[in-house]
Amino acid sequence: MRLRLAAVTALLACGARGSSPPPISAPAPQRGFAPVVDYLRSQVDSAFPGAVIAVGQHDSVVLLAAVGHYGADDRRPVTTETIYDLASLTKVIALTTECILLVDQGKLDLAAPVQRYLPEFRGPMKDQVTIRHLLTHSAGLAADLPLFDSTRTREAALRMVDTSPLLAPPGTRFVYSDLSAIVLMQVVERITGRPFDQVLADDVFGPLGMTATRFVPPQSWHDRIAPTEVDTFFRHRLLIGEVHDESAARLGGVSGNAGLFSNAPDLARFAAWLLDARAGRPGPLRADSGLVHRFTTKQDIPPGSSRALGWDTPSELSSAGTKMGPNAFGHTGFTGTSIWFDPDRNVFIILLTNRVNPTRANLKILQVRRRVADLVNDALTPPQ
């Protein structure tokens, strides 16, 4: 999917400043997409303060729109360049992508025990945990640990993760685990010999031209970042440009489970590359198409799980809605973000919101994601 970046009328005025890349522009929305934008607009101040949606098909971004405002107490209108805390999209945009590249280069073996790369990962049965187990959330690790109030430094937090006991034998139970992502991040750092954020800047974001994507955004970006929650756990302030996830915060904002900030145009660049790579079309990053296909296909580890390698696939009541194709894959982020792909139709759907502003108690995003996915698929389906 080679995105058309010709300068045409943008859907909405862009508010880029500083070092943002030239905006991905889109044509005036096709008539069929009006229900998508109208629906999102109807959810402003109900499901979220504001949102940005990007839809790509074939070689074009066919929808790029922003609705609402930055926050419950910030009435500035959102633009298509607004930056969001991606939360767990970090697991796939950053961590999983780097794993694909390392496997392609022969530096990472999915069947290898984690201890081959990270000897500190120790405890009963941990010698049986493989890289594949980490990517499918079947390592037996807990979902999370209270790193933010049990440790005081990044080093202590990593030590707590690496020595935490397994709750089940590897490969026997699915538990969506931030700990698995944190362990795998350390594996990436050991293999590459570089800090995780530098690895991604060098290997992924730089080559793809994603200059509005990074961990720990600088102060100069803050006016362009949608706020998340008023943290009542340990920071006790409104979070703007600080990672929302507590464990990633204890790790200094750079983690495999969360911490990435980005905007819709940058994620559209990433999505176009991934669909191209899966289809065997050449792009800025080299990755074998069969390998990308493998990472984005359901693994059935453990049996019955919907997980691919890092990525998820549609399941009952998933954020993919009811109309994605049989080979669809995607992921969500706790702050209100999601990305879904239908490779058979060469389509991606990116939805960025800050639904946790002002509080994470608002769960309306669960129905919004499904409805948006279905409305997009309706718009992309030719009349019978």
Quote the CA–CA distance of 334 and 362 in Å, as a whole number. Answer: 11
Distance between CA atoms of 54 and 309, rounded to whole angstroms? 24
Using CA atoms, how far apart are residues 232 and 55, in angstroms rounded to an integer? 35
Query: Using CA atoms, how far apart are residues 173 and 110, in angstroms rounded to an integer?
Result: 18
C-beta separation of 325 from 345 below 8 A:
yes
113's tokens = 């025990």
In the chain, what are the domains? Answer: 31-85+201-380 (3.40.710.10), 91-194 (no CATH)
Q: What is the pLDDT of residues 40-86, one digit of tens each?
A: 999 999 999 999 999 999 889 999 999 999 999 999 999 999 999 99
pTM of the model: 0.93
CA pair distance 130, 138, nearest whole angstrom = 10
Instruction: For residue range 210-260, list pLDDT tens digits in order.
Output: 999 999 999 999 999 999 999 988 899 999 999 999 999 999 999 999 999
- Indicate the pLDDT class of residue 2, thresholds 50, 70 and 90: low
